[in-house]
Amino acid sequence: MHPQPNLIDALDTLSPETLIAWDKTYVWHPFTPMKQYLASEPVIIRRGQGVKLEDIHGNWYYDGTSSIWLNVHGHNVPELNAALEAQLRRIAHATMLGQANVPAVALAKRLIEVAPPGLQRVFYSDSGATAVEIALKMAIQFWANQGWRSKRYILGFTNNYHGDTLGAVGVAPDPLFHWPFLDLLPGHPRAPYPYPHDRLAESLEAVEHVLRTRHHELAALIVEPVEGAGGILPAPAGFLRALRTLCDRYQVLLIIDEVATGFGRTGRLFACEAEGISPDLLCLGKGLTGGYLPLAATLTTERVFEAFLGEVEERKTFFHGHSYTGNPLGCAVALASLELLLQRLPSLPAKVERLRAHLAPLSEHPFVAELRQAGFMVGIEIVADRARRTPFPYGAQVGFIVARHARRRGMLVRPIGSVLIFMPPLAATEAELEEMTTILKAAFEDALPELERLAQNLQPNV
């Protein structure tokens, strides 16, 4: 055999024009209106270093989304690279169906050591959505294995988001995004999320009403500690604790989706620590590998696990798995990332407060209705009229106007609807956080004339 030239090094010789043409000819992007994308000047990333990304033209940008909420320690991190390379020399992948691999075993033990108390078992998968699917199916089968076939509904919250597979969509349908699928969904009940916080009592009353009247057909309740994709809406103190109590009272399992909030994103290792409670099922993804590789996990208790033990013909087994479940490369990086994160945790509260201070002036911006922050998760809600809270129409894509200016100034951010989401990597230094927020504030200033024009067009003619 002839030695092959390194295919990846060879990609560096491709011109930006070629890469852009190939992207526009062959690729279909997630959550992206492709008609508009094809007409745009795309960002194609070539490399990353620390909290910055370089595109194929040689422009460097701050990674203001943590590469969609998952990067923890920055890019090209020596410790993570070393773990990945070391594992690569051993094996890249081996199945977990009926067997194990060394990093997957070691990571499961380590996760259980740091997870909220009571969680004892780790079931791996490869994305946040699959971690959620697994929790939903485990909850339903937990009851079915004990003869409770009626307990097959899941209580969810309005405006929560749990991923894009149909099971996850079923517990969090969104009329805007999921309209073609709505009548395929099982009709799970939903309660209002307690935001603003003075709606806590109302929300808990609604939850209790559903639990009281339908507990015999409810397998579980699923909740996000902070509504992430809903626009960064943190739940009030006491909410998760109250849900824990209600779930216990009515014999319904509690699933906490920490795909976005886990691994330090709110300033603690897991958001539910702040409430001193443990769920029956905990969904993890995103930051698990520090943002390196697609690995996710659903953690559960020994009580749930034991309901799946039985003779083979009883069919109590959890017949669920993915080809790349427990991928050794992902698990090796996750082990290294977790150790780095544990060292980093004490530095986070000070950074969170610096971030809050730097961002504060933005809440005075004439088109900002609210600035919300949960640790390193920031949502800036843009409205046409602050006093009346009148939204801009969806088609105006006002978040993207600000994001375009931020990109021009050297930071990539991405809105959800009219909420600009800013999610810096946890590794950002205080100086980097200051620079990133300076860009963000300037981008909001740059957007002012365009927002004013759009708002004026909304005024009824007099």
Residues near ligand PMP (CB under 6 A): 69, 127-129, 132, 161-163, 224, 228-229, 257, 259-260, 285
Decide whether 220 or 451 has the Cβ nearer to ligand PMP. Answer: 220
H-assigned helices in 282-347: 302-306, 328-344
Decide whether 163 or 173 has the Cβ nearer to ligand PMP. Answer: 163
DSSP letter for each residue of 403-416: HHHHHHHTEE-EEE
Decide whether 132 or 338 has the Cβ nearer to ligand PMP. Answer: 132
Give the helix/strand (H/E) hosting 281: strand 281-284
* Residue 460 CB contacts under 8 Å (≥ 6 apart), including other chains: none
SS3 state of residue 60:
strand
Residue 129, annotated ligand binder? yes
The Cα angle at residue 285 between residues 424 and 215, in degrees rounded to 5: 120
Give the nearest distance from C-beta 17 to ligand PMP in angstroms.
31
Residue 195, annotated ligand binder? no
H-assigned helices in 250-327: 302-306
Give the nearest distance from C-beta 86 to ligand PMP in angstroms.
26
Decide whether 63 or 224 has the Cβ nearer to ligand PMP. Answer: 224
Question: What does the block give as tokens for 45?
Answer: 């990333």
Give the nearest distance from C-beta 232 to ligand PMP in angstroms.
10
Decide whether 129 or 233 has the Cβ nearer to ligand PMP. Answer: 129
CB 302 within 8 A of CB 278: no
Residue 163, annotated ligand binder? no
Give the nearest distance from C-beta 20 to ligand PMP in angstroms.
26
Give the nearest distance from C-beta 8 to ligand PMP in angstroms.
25
Q: Counting Cβ atoms within 10 Å, is residue 186 exposed (0-12), middle (13-18) or buried (19+)? A: exposed
- Measured over all CA atoms, what is the biggest interatomic distance in the chain, rounded to whole angstroms? 79
Decide whether 231 or 328 has the Cβ nearer to ligand PMP. Answer: 231
CB 153 within 8 A of CB 219: yes
Give the nearest distance from C-beta 311 to ligand PMP in angstroms.
35
83, 65, 258: which is closest to 162 by C-alpha?
Answer: 258
Decide whether 145 or 300 has the Cβ nearer to ligand PMP. Answer: 300
Residue 249, annotated ligand binder? no
Give the nearest distance from C-beta 423 to ligand PMP in angstroms.
10
Residue 414, annotated ligand binder? yes
In the complex, residue closest to ligand PMP by CB: 128
Q: Counting Cβ atoms within 10 Å, is residue 105 exposed (0-12), middle (13-18) or buried (19+)? A: middle
Q: Residues annotated as binding site for substrate?
A: 161, 286, 321, 414
Q: Residues annotated as binding site?
A: 128-129, 161, 257, 286, 321-323, 414
Q: Residues annotated as binding site for pyridoxal 5'-phosphate?
A: 128-129, 257, 322-323
